[in-house]
Structure 1
């Protein structure tokens, strides 16, 4: 897998996100309250809202435009909403965060 180092975990606030522009599109990289890191497409399939500006709670993010909630683990919409965003492999080694944007995955149905 082709990993791209994008910075330190300390660069991502807890329960927040940072964005990375790639040839595959804009990716939101999220850090949970317990320091898990996830990467997903940075746009909501509903109205294109920037998920990186949403509220992170547990392992989910709420879209800032219309409150759709997505699992950071699977990319699937939660609750009554339907849809998904692609997830991107991410790893953290010695505090350095890397992503593999060429390996975007569709949410399991």
Structure 2
């Protein structure tokens, strides 16, 4: 894994989100607890809703357009037959957010 420092944890409000632009598109960073951060793709697969504008609750985010709920650990839509968002490894060290750049290096052909 190749870790990149992308900012201070306090740059993301508690139960809030921020977006970073990468080669694979926009990645949403969600802060669910004082020292807990998740990284996922920012677009809902249903209608393309910006997940960074969604409601963060527990370890989930609800899409602001049609209320699809995604598990931030797995990316799986809850209660939907299909639907998944990409997740990216992220960790917090000494108040800094680090993201693994391996999956962010290039866009998939699929």
Following superposition, which runs of at least 4 residues in structure 1 exceed 4 angstroms of deviation? none
Distance 1:81 1:62, change over 3 A: farther
Q: Distance in 1 between matches of 2:39 and 2:78?
A: 17
> How well do the aligned residues superpose, as a CA RMSD in angstroms?
1.3
Q: Deviations over 1:74-97 (max 9, x none)?
A: 000002352100100001100000
Any unmatched runs of 5+ in structure 2?
A: 105-110
Task: Name the structure 1 match of 2:54.
Answer: 54
Equivalenced residues, count: 104
TM-score normalised according to structure 1 size: 0.89
Task: Name the structure 2 match of 1:23.
Answer: 23
Any unmatched runs of 5+ in structure 1?
A: 105-109
Helix, strand or coil at the partner of 1:26: strand
TM-score normalised according to structure 2 size: 0.88
